[in-house]
C-alpha cells in the first residue's frame, strides 16, 4: 500500500490534541515530564534494542524529537517521521542545539512514509499508533514489517487496554493523571479515551502476530501503558 488510495485514512488530520498547532507542541515536553521520565524511558528502549554499530533506526511518530536525538549516537542514521510539521520543526531545532547531524526528518506517517533505502535494523514508535483505527493499525504494522530486516526489532509503546476490568483500568489511569498534573492532565486523558483509538491488548497482540511479528516481551503498567518488544519473523 505504497500508493495512496482514494479511501485511505487521512493520517495528517489531527486526532485528539492538535499537534499541528505550535502552542500545543511548545508545551508537549513539559506536560509529559509531569508523569513520565522521558530520558530514562528512552535510554531503556535503547538498552533493550542493543543496537549494533552502523544501525539504522526509524522513529515513527517522532514528536518533538526527544527519542531520535537520544538515539542518534547509537546509530549510523536515524529517520524521524511525523505527520505534524510543527513537531518536526521543533525536533529539528532540538537536534541542531544538541549538535546531532545524522537524523533525517520526514513529514509523513505510518501509512505514508516511503523508505527509499535498505531495510532497517529497528523501528520505535511511542504513544503514536493510537491515532489510527484498528484496521489501519494493521496496515501500519504490515508496512513496518516490510521496512525491517529479517530479525529486525520493533519497539512499541502506547496506551493499550487490558480486556479484563477495562473501565476500572481507564478510570484509574485518569485519576493518576489528575494527581500528577491536575485538571490539565485529567482532561487530556479523558479526551484520549473519548476521541482517540486505543485498543484492547488482545487486538494489539493479534495485529502484531498477523503482521509477521513475534512478541518477545509485553508489559502493561499503570493499567493501560503497554510496552511491546517484537522481532520480525524471518
Q: What is the pLDDT of residues 49-77, one digit of tens each?
A: 999 989 999 999 999 999 999 999 999 99
Statement: the pTM of the whole predicted model exceeds 0.85: yes
pLDDT tens figures, 84-134 = 999 999 999 999 999 999 999 999 999 999 999 999 999 999 999 999 999
Residue 2 pLDDT level (bands cut at 50, 70, 90): low
- With 90 as the cut, is the pLDDT of residue 22 above it? no
Measured between alpha carbons, how far is 109 from 120 in angstroms, rounded to an integer?
17
Measured between alpha carbons, how far is 31 from 180 in angstroms, rounded to an integer?
10
- Over residues 190-202, the mean pLDDT reads 97
Residue 37 pLDDT level (bands cut at 50, 70, 90): confident
Q: Which residues pair with 107 in a beta bridge?
A: 82
Domains of the chain, earliest start first: 22-232 (3.40.50.150)
Residue 21 pLDDT level (bands cut at 50, 70, 90): confident
Measured between alpha carbons, how far is 207 from 209 in angstroms, rounded to an integer?
6
Q: Is the dihedral of CA 45, 47, 49, 53 positive or negative?
A: positive
Q: Is 17 exposed, middle or buried (0-12, 13-18, 19+ CB in 10 A)?
A: middle
Amino acid at each position: 500500500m505504497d500508493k495512496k488510495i482514494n479511501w485511505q485514512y487521512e493520517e495528517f488530520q489531527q486526532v485528539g490534541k492538535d499537534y499541528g498547532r505550535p502552542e500545543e507542541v511548545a508545551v508537549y515536553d513539559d506536560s509529559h515530564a509531569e508523569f513520565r521520565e522521558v530520558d530514562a524511558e528512552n535510554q531503556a528502549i535503547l538498552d533493550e534494542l542493543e543496537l549494533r554499530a552502523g544501525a539504522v533506526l526509524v522513529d515513527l511518530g517522532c514528536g518533538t524529537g526527544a527519542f531520535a536525538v537520544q538515539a542518534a549516537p547509537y546509530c549510523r542514521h536515524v529517520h524521524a517521521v511525523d505527520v505534524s510539521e510543527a513537531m518536526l520543526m521543533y525536533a529539528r531545532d532540538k537536534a541542531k542545539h544538541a549538535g546531532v547531524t545524522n537524523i533525517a526528518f520526514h513529514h509523513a506517517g505510518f501509512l505514508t512514509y516511503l523508505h527509499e533505502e535498505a531495510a532497517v535494523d529497528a523501528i520505535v514508535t511511542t504513544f503514536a499508533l493510537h491515532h489510527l483505527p484498528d484496521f489501519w493499525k494493521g496496515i501500519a504494522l504490515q508496512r513496518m514489517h516490510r521496512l525491517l530486516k529479517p530479525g529486525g526489532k520493533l519497539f512499541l509503546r502506547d496506551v493499550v487496554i487490558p480486556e479484563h476490568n477495562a473501565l476500572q483500568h481507564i478510570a484509574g489511569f485518569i485519576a493518576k493523571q489528575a494527581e500528577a498534573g491536575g485538571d490539565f492532565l485529567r482532561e487530556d486523558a479523558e479526551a484520549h479515551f473519548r476521541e482517540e483509538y486505543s485498543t484492547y491488548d488482545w487486538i494489539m497482540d493479534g495485529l502484531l502476530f498477523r503482521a509477521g511479528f513475534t512478541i518477545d516481551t509485553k508489559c502493561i503498567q499503570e493499567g493501560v501503558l503497554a510496552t511491546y518488544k517484537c522481532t520480525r519473523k524471518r
